[in-house]
Structure 1
Amino acid sequence: VSLNEGVAQAASIYVAFMREVGTIHAGFDSAEAIQAAIRKGASYEPAQLSRGMIAYGSILALQSPEFVQGVRTFAVDPAQRQQMIARILADPAAAATFPGADAAAGLIVDTIGKDSAAMLLIANAVEEDAYTIQGRSDPRRRWATVHIADRVTRLESAKSLSAVTMLPSAEESARLFAAANSGTGLGVSPAHSGPPYTAAVVRSLAIAALAALGAGGEEGRANTEALTVEQNSEFCLNMSKLMLFQCLAASRPSYEDMFCVGRHVARDLATCTAQNITPIPPEIPQTAVAGGAPEQTPVAAEAAAASTAATASLNNGG
């Protein structure tokens, strides 16, 4: 097995960010605590986070001995090995046909699914607290209903943080690199997930298959990097950013900012991660955002619809 450090570094960006954003909790005790949560939640560049998620998926797949051994059976004969490498590069979905693919996909779906579920819990709690804090019996109401002093600066700050290049965590990169090349160390439990697979899961499997064939090392870095790019995944996170900015632009008191954190940081992260591992349902509504949208955008439409009257609905609910 051979996987280059670039994949581990990309994966570390996703793992470290999700751990950090997972420290956001409801029950904010000051207006500044809400602003800190906005800064924390906005501190990701969508394309990097998307690529990191797919890179992480490939390392999870390499924790499946069934998949690695299944792929390795095609590496014995040099000609067949080259044929398989070429086939994966021409069509990443070929990786999903290897023996053990369901075991590798199961690890991806289960682990990323837990990340998504954790974000959903945070979203529900923070959004609920945005209503609770408006109650006359809540002592926090005093500061939560006051209009934010410098709304423009905090919006520009969120936009700036969204454009900053995310740096890999050296410690996390080393841990993931070792796990990728040894097949152990992430403490994952066996799980199985059959087809159909999303494009993101397919790409994770393709990177892992190249690694198992010995074609994912430094000499294959261009191929593994290309495989981490998935249009729908990046679109979902980009849409989330636009909705966050729209929400912050419309928000005035702190409790509305709290709602923005719950809806367009935590809930959108939950939805975008879930989209990457869940086959697309039928009847996807058309998004209202013009230009550049892939055909399949299960979450973008929901996010756009939710944001159109987010602040108004919050006020009505309060």
Structure 2
Amino acid sequence: MTQRFVSRGLTLAALAAVSVLAACESGPSKAELEAQRLAAEAAARQPPPIALNDGVAQAASIYVAYLREAGTIQPGGFDSAEAIQSALRKGVAYDPAQLSRGLIAYGAILALQSPEFVAGVRQYAIDPAQRQQIVAQIVADPAYAATFPGADAAAGLITDAISKDALAVRVIGEAIEQDAYTIQERSDPRRRWAVAHIQNREERLEGAKTLSAAQMLPSAEDSARLLTAASSGSGLGVTPSRKAPPYTPAVTRSLAIAALAALGAAGDEARANTEALTVETNNEFCLNMSKLMLYQCLAASRPSYEDMFCLGRHVVRDVASCTTTAVLSPIITVGDPQETGVTPAASAAQTAVAVTPAPTQTPAPSN
């Protein structure tokens, strides 16, 4: 009796095991399928991750590294003619096109530090069809990026950070110019060598042109740091700020690259788009004009204090002026036309000109 019940129990257990195995072989249960469906729907409602190719970070690193290097040129520290020439070689070593592209690339990474702007863009990235349509519209018209929610917060970060950096450089340039006056005073112990004529003036001018034409190399350390900041939306220590439109072409293009990144459409496959967006002719023109002013200044310069003037005015100060103008106003100016006839290097000062191309939008008020 007991053996029969045990045998029957084993048979029932075997049947149950077979049923379970059969159920497993037949596929997921309805509950499991429903859970999978809900998970798929939730994933479909998420936008793609933020994507920015390292070409943008490398371009930005070139701009950041040059501004940092320019900030090490300290006025009042020139104790020899060679010290002036060394600072001149350091300051002139930038390619206008690369520096301009780097500014816009850096502006894009600054814009990605705005959670408001990133969220405002990413809400339109959930639907794949809508996302592709918006990407195409930004590529066709970069100004479209300025219409996203939070664009004023992103533009504020761009203009505030870049104009502050430019102001710090401008202060150095103005101080160098002032030191060019000071060094001429009879009481200044540096006057003895400062008024002596520069040797090998032609070679010095050609050297400046060669350094200006050399390609600037990105910093691996800065590139990695900037790329991380772009992806994480933090790490640059920016101060929240807002700027209402209209925006300059440089700021507009920075916003466009940032918007593409927030849409997940600025990765390696989109290098052609991001590289095209970093090209902005107004700022490149300003920096190129500054170089021409510098070459004319150096060609006219004789004693070392005049080279000091050229360094302060047409390297450090003009870079700061072009940079500030790029983010605050579409009016491009290099030099100060109202200061003609100023010594030292009166003939060099007379080369200062104002260049005002037709603005592409209503000029933004300077902050």
Displacement of 1:194 after TM fit?
0.8
Q: Which residue of 1 aligns with 2:75?
A: 26
Amino acid at match of 1:14: Y
Alpha-carbon distance, 1:83 to partner: 1.0
Q: Distance in 1 between matches of 2:198 and 2:136?
A: 56
Structure with bigger RCO (C-alpha 8 Å, 6+ apart): 1
The whole-number CA distance in structure 2 between the counterparts of 1:211 and 1:267 is 33
**How far is the alpha carbon of 1:313 from its aligned partner?**
6.6
CA distance in structure 1 between the partners assigned to 2:226 and 2:220 by the alignment: 10
Q: How many residues align?
A: 299
Structure 2 Cα separation of the partners of residues 9 and 307 of structure 1: 39
Instruction: Using the TM superposition, give the Cα deviation of residue 243 of structure 1 relative to its aligned residue in structure 2, in angstroms.
Output: 0.5
For residues 164 and 243 of structure 1, do their structure 2 counterparts lie closer, same or farther at Cα, with a shift above 3 Å needed?
A: same
Moved more, 90-99 or 183-192: 183-192
Q: CA RMSD for the aligned pairs? A: 1.8
Partner of 1:298: 332
Q: Shift in Å at residue 167 of structure 1?
A: 0.4
Unaligned runs of 5+ in 2: 1-49, 350-367
**Quick one: which amino acid aligns to residue 65 of structure 2?**
A
TM-score (norm 2): 0.79
Q: Does 1:197 align with 2:247?
A: yes
Q: Which residue of 2 aligns with 1:143?
A: 193
Deviation at 1:279, TM superposition (A): 2.4
Name the larger-Rg structure.
Answer: 2
* Contact 1:34–1:258 under 8 Å retained in 2: yes
Unaligned runs of 5+ in 1: 281-296
Query: Are the equivalent residues in 1 in contact too, given 2:248–2:326 (CA < 8 A)?
Result: yes
> Is contact 1:106-1:191 (8 Å) kept?
yes
Cα deviation 1:169-189 (Å, max 9, x = unaligned): 000000001111111111111
Alignment of 1:45-64 (within 5 A): 45-64=95-114
- Specify which of 57, 62, 67 is matched with residue 13 of structure 1: 62
For residues 113-128 of structure 1, the aligned pairs below 5 Å read 113-128=163-178
**Aligned equivalents of 2:302, 2:217: Cα separation in 1:** 32
CA distance, structure 2, for counterparts of residue 43 and residue 114 of structure 1: 22
The Cα of 1:233 is off from its aligned counterpart by: 0.7
Residues 62-101 of structure 1 mapped to structure 2, 5 A cutoff: 62-101=112-151
Q: From the superposition, tell whether residues 123 and 153 of structure 1 become closer, same or farther in structure 2 (CA, over 3 Å).
A: same
Match for 2:318 among 254, 261, 268? 268
1:168 aligns with 2:218: yes
Preserved CA contact (<8 Å) 2:205 2:295? yes
Distance 1:250 1:91 in 2: 44
Matched position secondary structure for 2:223: helix
- Secondary structure of the corresponding residue to residue 210 of structure 2: helix
2:270 aligns with: 220
Return the alpha-carbon distance in structure 2 between the equivalents of residues 17 and 223 of structure 1. Answer: 25
Tell me, yes or no, if structure 1 residue 180 matches structure 2 residue 230: yes
Aligned amino acid, residue 7 of structure 1: V
SS at match of 1:44: coil
Partner deviation per Cα, 1:232-266 (whole Å, 9 max, x = no partner):
01000000111111100100000000000110011
C-alpha separation in 1, matches of 2:329 and 2:348:
32
TM-superposed CA distance for 1:304, in Å, is 7.0
Whether contact under 8 Å (2:300, 2:348) holds in the other structure is no
Alignment of 1:126-137 (within 5 A): 126-137=176-187
Distance in 1 separating the partners of 2:332 and 2:270 = 32
